[in-house]
Structure 1
Amino acid sequence: MTPPDHPASPAARRIIVTGCDHAYFELVAELIASIRDHADTTIGVIDCGMTVAQRERLGAQGVLVLAPHIPDYAPRRALAKRPSLAINISKLWLDQMLPDFDLILWLDADTWVQDGQALERMFEAAMSRTLAIVPEIGAKRADLLGVRWLCPGWMQIRSFLYKNATRARLPFAIRRRIGAKPLLNAGVFCLHRHAPIWTVLRQWQALILPRRHMAFTQDQLCMALAVYIDGQPVTFLDNSHNYIGPWLLDEATGMLANLFFPHAPVGIVHMASQKAMRNALENTLAIPTVQGGTVAVNLRYGGMRALSGRGG
């Protein structure tokens, strides 16, 4: 048989990565279970304060336990007070931390996977070595840009990017260019290990991270700067790939649905700003249903399984 002119390339080596301390471990355990409902992709967890028993539990499940990467310029005092900040810092070093993998998909500890096709689309979007990420636009909020009206005809921009660029003491020319842009939510993103943006992200991190109070939000700010200022290539995915609400339940399927008609199932659920539900499964939120009712649910993977009768 004559070999093909263009033999098939070897399959890209893929990994899904998250991170946690001991307090967020149960959320990560639920995230892992939700991933394995849909895929057998390798999973890694950055350890920023798990117990020995928790690390052993992950190892027994075949999960890679990873040490965080803390660059020399990281604020040591802030990390000493809050070691979990090393997770956000490490996000921008995953290509160096994981040299044996080609495609790296990051999922925050407070996310879980409801539709496995969302994982496939994230990996596919990153194959071209662009940043695959969801911009915060659309159903999440009624006002796309936070402003404060000072007087008729005058207002002050109060967007996340503008405020954080100001805290980072970036020049006004940069703040003006990114202030009205949508936030790129770093809770879910995918990158090829050879994507050119990695180096640019770390250049911004080296500038921003040593500055006061910037450790928690620097990852999202760095991504915005790399895309909006440096023009690094990006592929935007719709909000079902990193869904933060408004929440809607389809009683016919028992699944969380997108607010936009035709209310397709949400792919990746992100429980940002849902502290009570993250802390305990018995804490619930009353949300509307596609059918016109209201149901009290806990948005966690465990809570939704209990609602559908699959818990335990």
Structure 2
Amino acid sequence: MKKNVIISLADSNYFELLNELVDSIKRFKQSDNTAICILDGGLTDDQIKILKPKVDEIKSSDWDIKISQFKTMGKKWLKSLITRAFLTEYFPNYEKYLWIDADAWVNSWEAVELYFKGCENNKLCISTNADRAYGGLRVGWFFGSFARVKSQNYKHAKSSGFSEKVAREVALRPHLNAGVFALKSSAPHWKVWRKNLEDSLKSGKVWGSDQIALNITIYHNNLPVEILPAYCNWTHISGMKYDEDRKTFVEPYLPNHEIGIIHFAGKHNNEIRNNKKTLSKIECLNGKIIEKNLRFNNE
């Protein structure tokens, strides 16, 4: 019986990305001992047939917290923002759970190992949106020399109905990216996260609700966390470089560590997500600029 599992969810529009994620996992020999489970958020029958031989289980996802149809607007893929707090309910027979968004792919198995190792001792293992290559805080300037910090955590906490006290507690902490995370089945985070998520959905939008609920679980409820380097969940796509000698994507600064998981999060990556043939300009370590497809290619 496999103890570790990697889980993702997609609808029919994200099928190609999900299929690439699965292929990027299975090309590593180490994946033989890791289960892959898929939550169906609106896949077609033909798409499920393609996935079935590659994965251990496929289950239909549900709205695990009841919310109004006005908030969902028929977008079934929004289930993933709620469902990932309930992974142990869908697939109860595993010890360690690693969630990876469908618009990401595994470039180096080291990152997978770090996530599973980091969730030991009932810690949440996760990466943040803060890194030396990502840029600094966003601020709004007024009255000449005064600045107001534009904090994602603060904005989402307030829009989701959390108190000013809670919003300020999380405001300047590194934003934890729920697109990739690992937790043990026995971790206390699941219950607290679900409660915070339910509270968030009462006042806030579905989009972003899971992440602010998870950030509050760590920074307000003080549950244990292991924060991994950004290369374990790399979202600053335009900032990475390519190592032609090793034929792999790396951080832009020394020591140019190999990127573990490449994650096409954000509107600025729409073209890459929507068009598999998109070529992007990327700088090599020797300074040369090349055009390269950044999607996973199994060839």
Task: Please say whether Structure 1 and Structure 2 have the same fold, judged by a TM-score greater than 0.5.
Answer: yes
Superposition deviation, residue 98 in structure 1: 1.6
Q: Deviations over 1:114-133 (max 9, x none)?
A: 11121111101112110000
- 1:169 corresponds in structure 2 to 161
Partners of 1:156 and 1:134 in 2: how far apart? 25
Match of 2:192 among 195, 200, 206: 200
Higher share in helix? 2
- 1:31 corresponds in structure 2 to 21
- 2:3 corresponds in structure 1 to 13
Q: Does structure 1 residue 150 correspond to structure 2 residue 145?
A: no
User: What are the equivalent positions in structure 2 for 1:282-293 lying under 5 Å apart?
Assistant: 282-293=277-288
Superposition deviation, residue 74 in structure 1: 2.5
Q: Does structure 1 residue 224 correspond to structure 2 residue 219?
A: no
Partners of 2:248 and 2:65 in 1: how far apart? 45
- 2:187 aligned partner, one-letter code: A
Partners of 1:151 and 1:250 in 2: how far apart? 46
- 1:158 aligned partner, one-letter code: K
Q: Does structure 1 residue 179 correspond to structure 2 residue 176?
A: no
Provide the identity percentage.
Answer: 26
With normalisation by structure 1, the TM-score equals 0.89
Superposition deviation, residue 283 in structure 1: 1.2
Larger radius of gyration: 1
Is residue 178–residue 225 contact of structure 1 (8 Å, CA) maintained in 2? yes
- Aligned residue pairs total 292
Is residue 2–residue 35 contact of structure 2 (8 Å, CA) maintained in 1? no
- 1:169 aligned partner, one-letter code: G
RMSD: 1.6
Partners of 1:108 and 1:82 in 2: how far apart? 16
Superposition deviation, residue 75 in structure 1: 3.0
- 1:261 corresponds in structure 2 to 254
Is residue 12–residue 101 contact of structure 1 (8 Å, CA) maintained in 2? yes
Q: Does structure 1 residue 66 correspond to structure 2 residue 56?
A: no
Partners of 2:241 and 2:88 in 1: how far apart? 36
Structure 2: gaps (5+ residues): none
Structure 1: gaps (5+ residues): 1-10, 306-310
User: What are the equivalent positions in structure 2 for 1:41-60 lying under 5 Å apart?
Assistant: 41-60=34-53
Partners of 1:154 and 1:177 in 2: how far apart? 21
Is residue 69–residue 89 contact of structure 1 (8 Å, CA) maintained in 2? no
- 1:29 aligned partner, one-letter code: N
Q: Deviations over 1:17-65 (max 9, x none)?
A: 0010001101111111110111122111111110001112111223411
Decide whether aligned partners of structure 1 residues 241 and 72 sit closer, same or farther in structure 2, where only a CA change above 3 A counts.
closer
Superposition deviation, residue 146 in structure 1: 1.7
User: What are the equivalent positions in structure 2 for 1:98-137 lying under 5 Å apart?
Assistant: 98-137=91-130
Superposition deviation, residue 140 in structure 1: 4.1
With normalisation by structure 2, the TM-score equals 0.93
- Matched residue of 1:209: which SS? helix
Deviates more, 1:248-257 or 1:151-160: 151-160
